[in-house]
Amino acid sequence: MFNVPEVCRRAAETSTIMSELKSKVQHKRPSTSPRSPLQQLLWRAWRLKSKNVDDDDGYSGEQTEASDYAPPEFAAVDGEHDMPAAPSPEQFTPASLSAAGLIGEEEHAPTHVQAALHLGLLEVFWKYKDQFLRPGDEMKAFFSAAMDGKEVVWGDAEGLVLWKAVIEIAVGRFEAWWKVVGRETEAAKWAERGGESESEIWEPRHGPPKKVTELPPEMLPPLDVLIVWHSFLLNPRCYYDDCFALGMPGMLAVAFPWQAIVGFSHLLVNFGGADGKTEPIGRSPDA
């Protein structure tokens, strides 16, 4: 789990790193304030002078330029107000959590909180995937017998085969769940549009229904199914097509259940900052 990079990954050369890291444009500051030639010269000189620092922003406090300095020692937490929390619980207000409501005159980008929760959810996905990529003994025994019948030496390749098989099974489970949820949603949306006759068909070019409702909390699926739904939604054109082709346009107006995925009050409890007095993170006390 613990994976915060030791050094700034600008220096790392791995195939997994996005193209932006390889790109030539790597200013760390907004290019609105470029350094003047004189400044650049000074900067170069500075970098030469302390060349250990260069390209190794290893903030580990143990190596490089920091070898001049003793590694920092932090005192243990002392009381509730001293408890560090990342992400900060204050940020999670219910108003910014839900994506439900009527489509307005002007639509906005998602809120910071939704994006932060999304990040949390992706970590949960990562953890779920990892248990199949590097299976424990029980899973190893089970899947060796189920997929081969022989004793298997488990390596990366075997883990990948297993994970792909698990997704395939999850896709079947997703199908069953999605059909039921879709039917329920259609029924609910029809009831809402009560006045209209059944013969009025919702056409693709009309766009999705404009009343967005959150997926009811009791319909929240298991993690494997949620992973499939999540990836399906990230192909918006295909999702749009399928919702109409399969007669479930109401699914387009189902908001991702941020509220159900992580309850507001729960977060506060878990981060020990229910009084909202926890130090905001990211702003250092002396700044």
Partner 1 sequence: MAELTGKQNQSVDLQTLDYTLSADARAFFKVATSQEVDLFEQLKKESFSKPRMPTLEITCPKCGHEHELPIASLDSAVNFWHNPNLSLDCACGFTITHDALCAERLRHDYKQVLAGGPGIRGTFSPPFDRGSTISAQIKSHFAGAPPTLLSYPTVDTLLSIFQNPEHVAPFYLPTSPHSSACISLTAAVIRQESFVDKMHHFLWVRSPTLFTDTLPRAREKYKNFFRLFSLFPWETMVPTLDLDLFWHTHQLTPARYYYYCLQPSTTGRFIDHDDKLPTSVLDDGFGRTTERYRDTFGLEYGGCFCWACEIERNEEKVTGGWWIRLRREKRKLWERRVKVAFWREVEHRRSTGGEQVGLRGLEKVLAEGPKKRK
Residue 164 CB, nearest approach to partner 1 (Å): 6
Find the length of the chain.
Answer: 287
Per CB under 8 A, which of residues 133..152 are in contact with partner 1?
Answer: 139, 141-148, 152
* Residue 253 sits in the site that holds partner 1 (CB under 8 A): yes
Among 13, 137, 198, 218, binds partner 1 (CB under 8 A): 218
* Residue 201 sits in the site that holds partner 1 (CB under 8 A): no
Buried b (16+ CB within 10 A) or exposed e, 142-154: ebbeeeeeeebeb
Q: How many CA atoms lie within 13 A of 82 on its CB side?
A: 6
Dihedral pair phi/psi, residue 101, rounded to 5°: 125, 175
Per CB under 8 A, which of residues 160..199 are in contact with partner 1?
Answer: 161-162, 164-177, 179-181
* Residue 4 sits in the site that holds partner 1 (CB under 8 A): yes
Residue 276 CB, nearest approach to partner 1 (Å): 14
> Cβ distance 273 to 281 under 8 Å?
no
Residue 200 Cα to chain centre, angstroms? 39
Residue 115 CB, nearest approach to partner 1 (Å): 5
Per CB under 8 A, which of residues 6..45 are in contact with partner 1?
Answer: 8-10, 16-33, 42
How big is the chain by its Cα radius of gyration, in Å?
A: 25
Tokens of 139: 């899973």
* Residue 217 sits in the site that holds partner 1 (CB under 8 A): yes
* Residue 100 sits in the site that holds partner 1 (CB under 8 A): yes
Which conformational region is residue 55 in: left (phi greater than 0), alpha (psi within -120 to 50 degrees), or beta?
left
CA distances from 27 to 6, 31, 58, 258 (A): 20, 7, 18, 35
* Residue 87 sits in the site that holds partner 1 (CB under 8 A): yes
* Residue 282 sits in the site that holds partner 1 (CB under 8 A): yes
Q: Which is nearer to partner 1, 114 or 186 (CB)?
A: 114
Q: In angstroms, rounded to a whole number, what is the distance separating the alpha carbons of residues 169 and 176? A: 11
Among 126, 192, 193, 196, binds partner 1 (CB under 8 A): 126
Among 51, 55, 67, 190, binds partner 1 (CB under 8 A): 67
